[in-house]
């Protein structure tokens, strides 16, 4: 039973346009959400996070939006660049402590075309 779902396995976007990656979750106890980016043959790299007390967090070209009532979060990349082409993983956790382990989605492969 997947608690974190990324329903789009892939997304293709033109350079300069906005990329929107989506993530849904089922556990209402999740209170911290993260996005990771992964290039082939490399480990996931932390990108941006958001606490459940916020609905938006922005870092340069990357913005994460959280809609708690819909149990949905999204990552916006504006403008998209070819170097953004990678697999993006959404992850969530319940608080701290040993119970607060990260639960990952299966990832969305983003391709940004020049």
Partner 1 sequence: DAMVIQNPRYQVTQFGKPVTLSCSQTLNHNVMYWYQQKSSQAPKLLFHYYDKDFNNEADTPDNFQSRRPNTSFCFLDIRSPGLGDAAMYLCATSLGRGNQPQHFGDGTRLSIL
Q: Which residues bind partner 1 (CB under 8 A)?
A: 2, 4, 9, 31-32, 34, 36, 41-46, 49, 51, 89, 93, 95-98, 100-107
- Please state, in angstroms and rounded to a whole number, the distance separating the CA atoms of residues 113 and 106: 23
Rounded Cα distance, 79 and 96, in Å: 34
Taking the least distance from each CB to partner 1, the nearer of 13 and 90 is 90
**C-beta of 14: minimal distance to partner 1 in Å?**
25
The least CB distance from residue 36 to partner 1, in Å, is 8
Q: Give every CB contact of residue 58 below 8 A, 6+ residues apart in sequence.
A: 64
Q: How far apart are CA 35 and CA 47, in angstroms?
A: 6
Residue placing its CB nearer to partner 1 in the complex, 47 or 112: 47
Residue whose C-alpha is closest to residue 107's, from 92, 84, 86, 81: 86
For partner 1, the closer CB: 16 or 95: 95
User: Minimum CB separation from partner 1 for residue 7, in Å?
Assistant: 13
Q: Which is nearer to partner 1, 13 or 91 (CB)?
A: 91
User: Minimum CB separation from partner 1 for residue 90, in Å?
Assistant: 9
Say how many C-beta atoms besides its own lie within 10 A of residue 52's C-beta: 16
């Amino acid at each position: 039973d997947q608690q974190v779902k990324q329903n789009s396995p892939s997304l293709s976007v033109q350079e300069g346009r906005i990329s929107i990656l989506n993530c849904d979750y089922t556990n209402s106890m999740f209170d911290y959400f993260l996005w990771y980016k992964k290039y082939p043959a490399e480990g996931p790299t932390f990108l941006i996070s958001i606490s459940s007390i916020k609905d938006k967090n922005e870092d340069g070209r990357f913005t994460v939006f959280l809609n708690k009532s819909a149990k949905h979060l999204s990552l916006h990349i504006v403008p998209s660049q070819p170097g953004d082409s990678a697999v993006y993983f959404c992850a969530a956790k319940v608080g701290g402590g040993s119970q607060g382990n990260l639960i990952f989605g299966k990832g969305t492969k983003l391709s940004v075309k020049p």
